[in-house]
Structure 1
Amino acid sequence: MSPLLWQKPGVKVDARIQAFLAGEDVVLDREFFLFDIQASRAHAEGLQRIGILGADELERLCAEMEELADDFRAGRFVLDDRHEDGHSAIEARLVERLGDTGKKIHTGRSRNDQVLVATRLWLKEKLSEVAALSRECAEVALARAEVEQGVPLPGYTHLQRAVVSSLGMWWSAWAEGFIDNAVRAAQTREWVDANPLGSAAGYGVNLPLDRDHTTAALGFGRLQVSATYAQLSRGKFEMAAIEALCSALLDVRRLAWDLSLFTSAEYGFVQLPSQYTTGSSIMPNKRNPDVIELMRASYAAAAAARTEIEQLLSLPSGYHRDLQFSKGAIFHAFGRGLGALALLPDLLRNLEWQPARMRDALEPSMYATDLAVSLARDGMPFREAYREAADPARWAEGDPERSLDDRVSPGAAGALRLDSLKQRLEALR
């Protein structure tokens, strides 16, 4: 292992204790490594602006960091247990190649603000992915709502047949849901978009660091002003990012549940694309909806990660090593969550509905609510109309298309208002 950044003369390092301290940090830091290099370059530029580095030193540091990033992408440099973490790996490489100039890179910063800035840069990228995938899901759902809006589909409450619904209502629900998810991810990204670099270990440093420069250089929307709050925000902004992810995954979970039911032989309303199913290891007749089942389960991974971080935050102010464990939680949450979201748009594009099966599932009782409302519209008090319509003798085979056309309250089958959803979707571009 490269020399420990914090090791003092005469301090013995116990290998077992060091292994516990490092944990899987160096492996997890592979996710952050390029962002850490990016932030190190901005920090070096800031040091040059206040006279800590000369122009030639800055040029050599930046060139070396660019080469390190290229080597990492190409697999020529591997972040492994030769290093305590990604931060020490960058510094060790710079010292190895540039000697005393490399030793200057850590002036005015701490590993604390290093991990904070890398985390925020990483989360900004991941939240952009959540927003983009949610927007794509909404686009697919809205397009299909327009094409299939008049196709009857049984509507359920409590898993019991309730009223006549439509594919237009089903699709528009997911369209609006994923528009909301895209908005939430974008708003959370804006909230996370603050630069903590230069806050050091939470108390600043006795140098006039050019934090405004690093804010602009790294593309942050604003400076995270308080050096102490930069540390206090750790965990808080990670949880907010996971919550935005969970908002989308909640809809994935419920949508996957619908498809799990609708693809069963008992319903038979829809057929999944073959690539989204797998076979049984013992039953030759089976095609299992394993993909949508794992998509359904993805929310649990993200929710568990959020809870893990929340439980780490029972801490006083200042930095505490407990927070090291938050890295694995966010990687796990976004790894699982974005994996599920990425598969959803093509699944939605390629669902094949079975309209005859859906129509066959409609029964006379499902028109009872229409009858009650019709009687009330004609002047009968609703509670009396309700009792009248509850009588099975009043039930008869209905016309599903007419039922849908007559449902004219805004947002219902006869008045989907897809244009308003389209306007919201366009505003996200």
Structure 2
Amino acid sequence: MKLWDKGVKTNKFIQQFTVGKDYLLDTQLVKYDCLASIAHAKILEKAGIISATESKKLKKEIKKIISLNKKGKFKVMSEQEDSHTAIENHLVKKIGVLGKNVHAGRSRNEQVVTMTRLYSKEKLLELEIETIVLCKQILSFAKKHEFVPMPGYTHTREAMPSSVGLWASSFVESLLDSIELLESAFVLNDQCPLGSAAGYGSNLPLSRTFGAKLLGFKKVQNNVLYVQNSRGKIEAVTVSALAQVMFDLSKAASDLILFSTPEFGFFELPVEICSGSSIMPQKRNPDVMELVRAKSKKVQANLFEILAIASAVGSSYHRDLQLTKQPLIDSFEETLGSVKAMQIVFGKLKVNKKDCIEACGFELFAADAALEMVKKGIPFREAYKKVAKNLDKLEAVDVLQNIKSKKMMGASGNLGLKKIGKEIAVKEKKVNVKEKDFDKAVAKLT
């Protein structure tokens, strides 16, 4: 039975069209919907609308739903439309009239926002933890190969001397910036929508601050209309942060695809992470990197989808917003999967030191040669032109000594890897505290 059922039979096709995949997506969100329902029962108890005994009875049965859902035995049916209906129907069936009171003062408009915020908080923490693991792996790789020379490129052409350490640690620093964005997204999601009802509050004496405390939110999202207006907005901020993580992974994947080709041979991908060809026996294809690159574009597309849908509607709730749920969930799945895949890649990636050094042709040192003249008092532009006219006369350079000699902050001879390690440790400590707080709130509530 639908929560809004008024005795009029809905056209079957229209029913399927309006529900879409929402009931299937909600299967992943049942736990969070249940947590909010337990908290709301406590709020109703505090307001004197239900008794302490009734509140405990609701909590006991809702916890059973969480358990059933974890085992894959709690089904949200298409005719129920969503998890909110499935939960209430289950409660009415199991404990009778009391189940009809579980959502007093609530609206599905608010229920979906609350469960989505809880879901996003937990997933953001999971993603941040996994991204930190990846950072630590790449940093370890960078330390191991810190002074392995390799060509640096611009325009996909040889440019200046570089190193494997410089290349790898650039992705660590980029991912650390992306973690900052994940943290910012977490802050916005850490606002409690519970009690805002359809976007206009209710005339029941419900304590929203009590609800926020029960669910472990840092604060209440104050304006009840803004709760609805923020739907799509905060999802877009969240997916934007995920898109930045994928941006980093995509760039690394593109480099690995190129640098592991036989023509370059700088890196070697272990056979266990490569696929083959059904016709060409020799093929070892970098499918993992190609898919990470493609999934990056999927997450970007999900961001544009959410923005397009949410920005097209006016204030309060509109059914359009139902379609922002799938791109959010999909983005988390694709990003988490890609981060874990790249952990495996960097954990098994091999460096062909000999090939890296042999690829460092004499033209790589042209800019360095011009700058050496500058040290002797020759104006840079004159030195530049002189070297350009005499490229074939460039002297042989010890490439290892060259990359070690560049001591400016962040250059190949002074990467600051210890400092990066300390930054990772700070991030790890912060996210572990947040994860502990989230788990503590859930444990206390259930």
SS at 1:284's partner residue? coil
- Residue equivalent to 2:253: 256
Displacement after TM superposition at 1:105 (Å): 0.6
CA distance in structure 2 between the partners assigned to 1:357 and 1:393 by the alignment: 22
2:130: which partner in 1?
A: 133
SS in 2 for 1:99: helix
SS at match of 2:317: coil
The alignment's TM-score, normalised by the length of structure 1, stands at 0.97
The residue number in structure 1 matching 2:241 is 244
Amino acid at match of 2:236: M
Once the two structures are superposed, residues 54-81 of structure 1 have per-residue CA deviations (whole angstroms, 9 ceiling, x without a partner) of 1111111000001111111122322233
Deviations 1:90-137 (CA, angstroms, capped at 9, x unpaired): 000001111110000110000011000011111111111221122112
Q: Distance in 1 between matches of 2:288 and 2:400?
A: 33
Q: Is the 8 A contact 2:77 2:86 kept in 1?
A: no
In 1, Cα distance between equivalents of 2:35 and 2:272: 39
Q: Could you list the structure 1 runs, at least 4 aligned residues long, displaced by more than 4 angstroms after superposition.
A: none
SS across alignment from 2:28: helix
Report the equivalent of 2:425.
426
CA distance in 2, matches of 1:34, 1:322: 24
TM (norm. structure 2) is 0.93
Report matched runs for 1:131-280 at 5 Å: 131-280=128-277
* Structure 1 counterpart of 2:354, one-letter code: A
| Between 291-300 and 74-83, the greater mean CA deviation after superposition | 74-83
- d(CA) in 2 for partners of 1:89, 1:279: 45
Q: How many angstroms does 1:225 deviate by?
A: 0.5
Higher mean C-alpha deviation, range 318-327 or range 328-337: 328-337
Q: Secondary structure at the match of 1:278?
A: coil
What SS does structure 2 have at the residue aligned with 1:385?
Answer: helix
What amino acid is the match of 2:243?
Answer: C
More off after superposition, 231-240 vs 123-132: 123-132
Q: CA deviation at 1:214?
A: 1.1
Q: Give the distance between the partners of 1:175 and 1:410, measured in 2 at CA.
A: 16
Query: What is the CA distance between 1:252 and its match in structure 2?
Result: 0.4
Q: Deviations over 1:168-207 (max 9, x none)?
A: 1012101111111222212211221100010001000001
Provide the rounded CA distance (Å) in 2 between the counterparts of 1:5 and 1:410.
62
* 1:353 to partner: Cα distance: 0.6
Report the AA paired with residue 169 of structure 2: S
Q: CA deviation at 1:383?
A: 0.8
The equivalent of 2:380 in structure 1 is: 382
Instruction: Please tell me the root mean square deviation across aligned C-alpha atoms, in Å.
Output: 1.2
Alignment partners' CA distance in 2, 1:84 and 1:109: 17
Matched, 1:411 2:395: no
Instruction: Measure the CA separation in 1 of the matches of 2:147 and 2:95.
Output: 69
1: CA distance, partners of 2:387 / 2:416: 29
Partners of 1:388 and 1:394 within 8 A in 2 = no
TM-aligned CA distance change 1:67 to 1:381, over 3 Å: same
CA distance in 1, matches of 2:23, 2:35: 18
- Measured after TM superposition, the shift of residue 22 of structure 1 is 1.0
Give matches, 1:353-368, under 5 Å: 353-368=351-366
| Matched-pair contact (CA < 8 Å) for 1:375–1:385 | yes
Kindly provide the amino acid, as one letter, of the partner of residue 344 in structure 1: M
Q: Which amino acid aligns with 2:417?
A: L
Stretches of structure 2 lacking an aligned partner (at least 5 in a row)? 429-446
CA distances 1:335-394 after superposition (whole Å, capped 9, x unpaired) = 112111111112112100101111111111111111111111121111111112222143
State the Cα distance separating 1:311 from its structure 2 match: 1.1
- Structure 1 contact 372–382 (Cα < 8 Å) conserved: yes
SS in 1 for 2:395: coil
**Runs (5+) with no aligned partner, structure 1:** none
- Number of corresponding residues: 426
- 1:299-331, CA deviations, whole angstroms, 9 ceiling, x for partnerless residues? 111111111111112111111000011111112
Which residue of structure 2 lines up, in the alignment, with residue 392 of structure 1?
391
Tell me the distance in 2 between the aligned counterparts of 1:45 and 1:181: 38
Q: Which moved more, 1:327-336 or 1:220-229?
A: 327-336
Is the partner of 1:161 in helix, strand or coil?
Answer: strand
Structure 1 vs Structure 2: percent identity of aligned residues? 37
Name the aligned partner's letter for residue 328 of structure 1.
Q
* Aligned equivalents of 1:346, 1:13: Cα separation in 2: 50
Letter in 2 for 1:6: W
Per mean C-alpha deviation after superposition, the further-off stretch among 138-147 and 252-261 is 138-147
> What is the CA–CA distance in structure 2 between the aligned matches of 1:291 and 1:149, rounded to whole Å?
25
For 1:213, the aligned partner's letter is F
Aligned to 2:400: 401
In 2, are the aligned partners of 1:410 and 1:416 still within 8 Å (CA)?
yes
Instruction: Tell me how far apart the structure 2 counterparts of residues 414 and 354 of structure 1 sit (CA, whole Å).
Output: 20
Of residues 123-132 and 277-286 in structure 1, the stretch that sits farther from structure 2 once superposed is 123-132
How far apart are residue 82 of structure 1 and its match?
Answer: 4.9
| Higher mean displacement: 281-290 or 69-78 | 69-78
136-145 or 288-297: bigger deviation: 136-145
The AA in structure 2 aligned to 1:123 is S
Distance 2:391 2:381 in 1: 16
Query: What is the one-letter code of the residue matched to 2:138?
Result: A
2:35 and 2:258 map into 1 onto residues whose CA distance is 47
- Distance in 2, Cα, partners of 1:296 & 1:62: 44
- Separation (CA, whole Å) in 2 of partners of 1:286 and 1:200: 58
Return the alpha-carbon distance in structure 1 between the equivalents of residues 298 and 126 of structure 2.
Answer: 18
